[in-house]
Amino acid sequence: MCSFLLLSLFFTVLSVSVADECRGCQAYDCFEDAVHCGNDSYLVKYGGKYCRKFNDPETLKNFSPIGREFVECTTSCLKRFMQNYINNTSRRPPYSHSQCSDLEKAAFGSHVKCYLDCDFCTVCKTEKAALFHVYEFRDFFSWSAMKQMYEVLKSCGGPHACFDLF
């Protein structure tokens, strides 16, 4: 009985330390470690990259309090989606190439809901400079990114509703 309690305590401490390593944007590294989609995957090249860029203290200084709320909300939403997606019992890691492609499509799809739920349609009007400072234009040339951007902007009333300069 004593051995069982010690073993249970050991695994509880072990799981807590693993969870601590996966906090914040490190979660994307943990997701990648779980599914093994590779260094060119969404998790590394897009999700983790933009999580780190948006949550960098120097970047956050460019946002107003409302903009920082958007970043926090979106970060939590996107990570929660990815955690739920990976924990889905119908997909077992390591992922095949097609499962990694499915993960990327689902992840980009989650951006639309997360952005809209976190009030992007308001934030895009007041935080243009901060948003443009974070994104790398070349990342919008993939079909998934363009589709995501189109869906979000359409829901906000079109590009002019967010990025009208005058």
Q: What is the pLDDT of residues 142-156, one digit of tens each?
A: 888 888 889 999 999
Could you tell me the pTM of the whole model?
A: 0.83
Give a three-class secondary structure readout of 64-77: CHHHHHHHHHHHHH
Average pLDDT of the chain, as a whole number: 85
3-state helix, strand, coil in the chain (%, to 5): 80, 0, 20
75 has pLDDT over 90: yes
92 has pLDDT over 60: yes
- 124, 156 contact by CB (below 8 A): yes
- 40, 97 contact by CB (below 8 A): no
Residue 26 vs residues 32, 38, 47, 52, 150: alpha-carbon distances, Å? 10, 16, 11, 9, 28
Is the pLDDT higher at 139 or at 65? 65
